[in-house]
Amino acid sequence: MSLLEVTDLAVAAGSLQLVDGVTLDVRPGEVVALVGESGSGKSLTALSVIGLLADSLRITRGSIRFDGVPVHGAGGQDMADLRGNGLAMIFQEPVSSLNPLMPIGAQVAESLIVHGRASAADAAQQAVRMLGRVGIPDPERRAHQLPAELSGGMCQRVMIAAALISRPRLLIADEPTTALDVTIQAQILDLIRDLAEEEGTAVLMITHDMGIVAEMADRVCVMYGGRVVEQGDVHDIFRQPRHPYTAMLLRTIPRLDHPPKQELFAIPGNVPSPRNWPQGCRFKTRCDRATAQCDATPALSEGAHRVACFHPLSEGMT
Amino acid sequence: MTPFAKAALATLATRGVQAIIVALIVGIVSFAMMQALPGDAAYRIAAGRYGYDMMDAASAEAVRIELGLDQPALVQMWTWLKALAQFDLGTSAVYGTSVAEEIGAQLGYSLLLAAGAVITSLLIALPVGIVTGLRPGGVLDRMTLAVSIFLRAIPAFALGIVLVLVFAVQLKLFPVAGFKGASNLVLPSLTLGLGLAAVSNRVVRDAVAEAMSADWRLFARTKGLSARLTLTRHVLRNASVPVVAYIGVQLAYLIEGVVIVESVFAWPGIGHALVHAIFGRDIAMVQGTALVLGLTYVALNLCIDLACRGIDPRGRAA
Ligand SMILES: Nc1ncnc2c1ncn2[C@@H]1O[C@H](COP(=O)(O)OP(=O)(O)OP(=O)(O)O)[C@@H](O)[C@H]1O
Ligand SMILES: [Mg+2]
C-alpha cells in the first residue's frame, strides 16, 4: 500500500488555479522525485501534503491520504500530530530556515518535545546524537551554537537532523541543495539517501535537476503547469520518456559521453505563468508534436508508467 | 569571565565614557544658553527671591556679587565644572536650597511618569502591533495605521490639553493636574504613552509580520508546533528584539515629552523644575536638572543595551 497518496489535487489562490490535478504516490521507504521547472507547483503540492499552505491558498479539489488516512480536511490537530512525527520536511534555504536566536541543539530537539516524546534533557541528548549522525563535528559543543555560527551546508545538516530526529516515515525535501555549493550538494544528497535508507524513511525529493533524479530516485513524477504529466520508474523514464516535456528535460542533463564543446540543450520558449496557461494540454505551446487534439485536456493514464499526453513518444523515437 | 559578562562590561565602559561627555556638553550648552537669554539674570533672580515689588537695583547688585555673575562667563563655567567634579551641583540661585536635594526629590516623580508612559505605550502597542502584524494589510491594520499617523501629528502638549479637557474637565474621571495620588498618573502617562505607542505599535507590527513570514517559522510548523506555540516559542521572542531596541530610540522623545507633559500637568518632576528654573534664571538649577536628564538618558540607554543583549544571543560570543 502507498504511504502517501495524492489524487487529483488542486490548489488555488482566489480564482487562480496554481496546482490543477496532481496525482502521485510514495510507497514506504522509496525515494520519489518530483521534478518540473520553476512555477510548476512542486512546492505548493508539498505544502498541501504537510498542511501548511499560506492562508491565501486553498485546496479546491482532490484528496491526500497518509498511511491510508485522509489528511486534507482533517482537523488541524491531526495534522499537527502528523507533522514532526510521521511526516517531516526540509527546505531550500538552510540558513534562513533556522531560527537565528535559538541554539541549533534546541531546534533539533524541538519536535520530540512538542510531541511529548522525550523530556527536555533526554531530547537534548538525542539532539546531540542526531547532530553527530548528520556529520556535525563536535556536536556536544556545536549544539549550543546559533545558526549564524555555521556554514550553509552545516545548517542544511542541522535541518536534516531536526527533521529526521522524529524518525518520520516520509521526508519531504524541497530542493534541499539548490542554495548550496556544488561540492556540498553531493554530500548533502548522500547524507539524505544514507539516513533515509538506514531508517526506512521514504523521501519525496523536489528538484528541477534531472541529474539529482538519476542519482537519488526510485521513481519520478514530472510536473508541468500545475499538473503531473508523467510518472513512473526512474529507469523506465530515463530509458524511454513518454511525454515530450520529459524527453526535453532529459536532454538538459549535461553528459560525459557528449562532445564537451556541444552546447547544453535548453527547452525552447518559457514556462507560462498560471495566469497564462493555455486551454487543454499546457505544454502544447512549446511542443513540436501538438495537434488540434491537444486543445482538450489529456488524462493521466493508468499503470506503472503513466503519462498525460495525446501523442506520447514510444520506443525508438528519442 | 563569561562572554556575556565581558560584553556587558564593555557596554558599561562605553556608556560610562558617554556619561562624562554628556556631563561636559550639557554643562557647557546649558550655561551658554543661559548667558544668551535676553535680560539681566541678577534682576530676575532677585525678583524670584524677593518678589518683583520688593526688589530694587541694590538687591540685584547684591545678588550679582553673591553669585559671581559679574565674573567672566568662562570663570563661572569653570567654577561649576570644578564643583561638579566633586559631585557638588551647587545651590539654587533663587531658593538657596541644595540643587542635588531638589533634584533628588523631583527625579523620582519624573521616573514614575516615564515608567507610566512606557508601560502605557506597551499596553497599547503590544496587543495592537501583534494583532495587526498577524494580519498585515487587513482592516484593523489599515485603521490603526491611520490612527497612528493622526496621533503622531499631534504635539504632546496639545494631546495633553485635549485629554485634560475631555477626561478631567468634562468627565471628571481624573484630576486636572498636580500630584496627590495614583489617579494623577493616568492622564500624563496616557498623553506620553499614546505618543510613544503611535510609533511603536507599527514597529511591533512590522517585527511580528516579518517573523510570521520568515522561513524559520514555516520550518518550526513542520516540526509539529501549533500556530499558537510557534507564536509564543519563536515569533514573539524574535520580534521582541527590534521592539526593545526601538524603546531605546524612543528615549529621546520620552525625556523631551516628560519635560513638556510635566509642565502641562504641573507634575512635581525634574522637567517641570527645569522649565521653572529657566524662567527664573536659576542657573545652578538649570545646569543641574539638564545634567541629570542627560545622565538619565545615558543610564536608560544602558538598561536597553543590556536588555537587548539579554534577549538576542547573537554577538554574545563575539
Ligand atoms: N501564496 C501564493 N499566492 C499566489 N501565488 C502563489 C503563492 N505561492 C506560490 N504561488 C504561485 O504558484 C505557482 C507554483 O508555485 P510553487 O512554489 O509550487 O512552484 P515550484 O514548482 O516549487 O517552483 P520553484 O522551482 O521555483 O520552487 C507559481 O507560479 C507561484 O508564483
Ligand atoms: Mg519551490
Q: Which residues of B touch A78 (CB under 8 A)?
A: none
- Nearest atom within ligand 1 for CA of residue A223: 21
Does A19 map to a domain? Answer: no
Residues 6+ apart with CB under 8 A from A148: A100, B314
Please indicate whether residue A93, judged by its CB atom, sits closer than 6 Å to ligand 1. Answer: no
pLDDT tens-digit map of B88-103? 888 888 888 888 888 9
Please indicate whether residue A18, judged by its CB atom, sits closer than 6 Å to ligand 1. Answer: yes
Does A208 map to a domain? Answer: no
Q: Which residues of B touch A98 (CB under 8 A)?
A: 216, 219
Which of A47, A50, A79, A101 to mutate to probe the B interface, most B CBs <10 Å? A101
Interface residues of chain B, partner chain A, Cβ below 8 Å: 214-216, 218-226, 229, 234, 237-238, 241, 311-314, 317
Which of B2, B212, B223 to mutate to probe the A interface, most A CBs <10 Å? B223
Please indicate whether residue A308, judged by its CB atom, sits closer than 6 Å to ligand 1. Answer: no
Q: What is the pLDDT along chain A (318 residues), one digit of tens a residue?
A: 899 999 999 999 999 999 999 999 999 999 999 999 888 999 999 999 999 999 899 999 999 999 988 886 655 556 778 898 899 999 999 999 999 999 999 999 999 999 999 999 999 999 999 999 999 999 999 999 999 999 999 999 999 999 999 999 999 999 999 888 888 899 999 999 999 999 999 999 999 888 899 989 999 999 999 999 999 999 999 999 999 999 988 887 776 666 656 666 777 787 888 998 999 999 999 988 888 999 999 999 998 999 999 999 987 665
Burial annotation A117-141 (CB, 10 A radius, 16+ → b, else e): bbeeeebbbbbbebbbbbbbeebee
Residues B221-229 have a mean pLDDT of 93
Please indicate whether residue A42, judged by its CB atom, sits closer than 6 Å to ligand 1. Answer: yes
Residue A147 has what DSSP assignment? G
- Residue B49 pLDDT > 90, yes or no? no
Ligand 1: residue of A15, A44, A60 to mutate (most ligand atoms within 8 A of CB) is: A44
Q: Measured between CB atoms, which of A83, A96, A114 is closest to B216?
A: A96
Q: Do the Cβ atoms of A83 and B224 come within 8 Å?
A: yes
**Burial class (CB within 10 angstroms; exposed 0-12, middle 13-18, buried 19+) of B80:** buried
Does A288 map to a domain? Answer: no
Distance CA A205, CA A106 (A): 26
Q: Which of B23-32, B272-281, B284-293 has the lowest mean pLDDT?
A: B23-32
Which of B216, B228, B232, B233 to mutate to probe the A interface, most A CBs <10 Å? B216
The pTM score is: 0.87
Q: How far apart are the first and last CA of chain A?
A: 34
Q: Do the Cβ atoms of A88 and B214 come within 8 Å?
A: no
Which residue of chain A is at minimal alpha-carbon distance from B312?
A: A101
Which residue of chain A is at minimal alpha-carbon distance from B318?
A: A149
Residues 6+ apart with CB under 8 A from A293: A310, A311
Please indicate whether residue A36, judged by its CB atom, sits closer than 6 Å to ligand 1. Answer: yes
pLDDT tens-digit map of B170-213? 888 888 888 888 888 999 999 999 999 999 999 999 999 999 99
Please name every residue paired with A222 in a beta bridge, in sequence order, or none if there are none.
A35, A230
Structural domain containing residue A147: 96-166
Number of structural domains chain A divides into: 1
Distance (Å) from the C-alpha of residue A278 to the closest C-alpha of chain B?
A: 32
Does A146 map to a domain? Answer: yes
DSSP run (H or E) holding A230: strand A227-233
Q: Do the Cβ atoms of A80 and B241 come within 8 Å?
A: no
Q: Do the Cβ atoms of A99 and B218 come within 8 Å?
A: no
A 10 A CB-CB count for B260 gives: 19
- Nearest atom within ligand 1 for CA of residue A45: 18
Q: Which residues of A touch B226 (CB under 8 A)?
A: 76, 80
Which residues have a beta carbon within 5 Å of ligand 2, which is an ion? A 43
* A residues 154-213 closer than 8 Å to B (CB): 159, 162-163, 166
**Burial class (CB within 10 angstroms; exposed 0-12, middle 13-18, buried 19+) of A297:** middle
Residues B226-246 have a mean pLDDT of 93
Which residue of chain B is at minimal alpha-carbon distance from A148?
A: B314
Q: Which amino acid is at A105?
A: G
Q: Determine the distance separating the centroid of ligand 1 and the alpha carbon of A38, expressed in angstroms.
A: 8
Does A280 map to a domain? Answer: no
Residues B223-251 have a mean pLDDT of 93
Q: Determine the distance separating the centroid of ligand 2 and the alpha carbon of B196, expressed in angstroms.
A: 41
Does A162 map to a domain? Answer: yes
- Coil/strand/helix, residue A148: helix
Distance CA B165, CA B142 (A): 29
Q: Determine the distance separating the centroid of ligand 1 and the alpha carbon of A43, expressed in angstroms.
A: 7
> What is the ipTM metric for this complex?
0.92
- CA-closest residue to ligand 1 atom 9: A44
Does A245 map to a domain? Answer: no
Q: Do the Cβ atoms of A100 and B223 come within 8 Å?
A: no
Q: Which amino acid is at B227?
A: A
What pLDDT was estimated at residue B45?
Answer: 85
> Which pLDDT band, with edges at 50, 70 and 90, does B318 fall under?
very low
User: Rounded to the nearest 5 degrees, what angle is found at the Cα of B201, between the Cα atoms of B219 and A103?
Assistant: 30
B285 touches B242 (CB < 8 A)? no
Q: Measured between CB atoms, which of B214, B219, B241 is closest to A159?
A: B219
Does A113 map to a domain? Answer: yes
